[in-house]
Amino acid sequence: MSVAAARSSIGRGSGIGRGSGARRGDVVHRTAYDVRMNPLRRILLGAGQLPAPLRDELEAEKLVLLAEGLPGSITYRHYRAPGQRSNWRKEAVTGAIAVTALRLVVWAGRGKNIDVPLAGPFLAAIEIGLESPNQVRFAYDAGKFSPVRSGAVEVRLRTPRAADVVALLAP
């Protein structure tokens, strides 16, 4: 997405209605949280955009919502993985949220953090909620998704469409 296109999409309801609440199957809404991101933050944390091959794959699955360039954080509690151990660690990240007709993808930092189908037990294992009106929280037990990982992981991303994300993913 170009800077001009991102600027024109900020603050506009180009898809999902504001008052009616978001529903699966509605038109795609793309948003860049802040196109004037601090250049140092972009260098250190990444731009928070999905790579082109993943974006093409998601567009083929019929994108419902795409929000990129979202500031936030990842918190690890009692986390264990090959080469990683942490009782408590919090990292600043820039990320993206994509919801298609088939799956949820949360890109945080420089990698994919969540990629689960909307149907099945995996989405139910992720607690999705609002931390504040502009912040969505994804919390999950890492051991439920990989046998070599354990501990709690929380991904928080700020977006003006936080309520729409939660409404789309509600059971």
81-94 pLDDT per residue, tens: 999 999 999 998 98
* Three-class HEC string of 77-113: EEEEECCEEEEEEEEEEEEEEEEECCEEEEEECCEEE
pLDDT at position 76: 94
Distance from CA of residue 111 to its chain's centroid?
A: 11
Q: CA-based Rg of the chain, rounded to a whole angstrom?
A: 16
- Structural domains of the chain, count: 1
Distance CA 53, CA 44 (A): 23
Which residues are CB-neighbours of 20 under 8 A, at least 6 positions away? none
End-to-end CA distance of the chain: 31
Which residues are CB-neighbours of 21 under 8 A, at least 6 positions away? 164, 167
Q: Containing domain of residue 115, as a range?
A: 3-169
Q: What is the pLDDT of residues 127-156, one digit of tens each?
A: 999 999 999 999 999 999 999 999 999 999
pLDDT at position 38: 63
75 pLDDT more than 90 = yes
Confidence band of 46 (pLDDT split at 50, 70, 90): low
Distance CA 5, CA 105 (A): 22
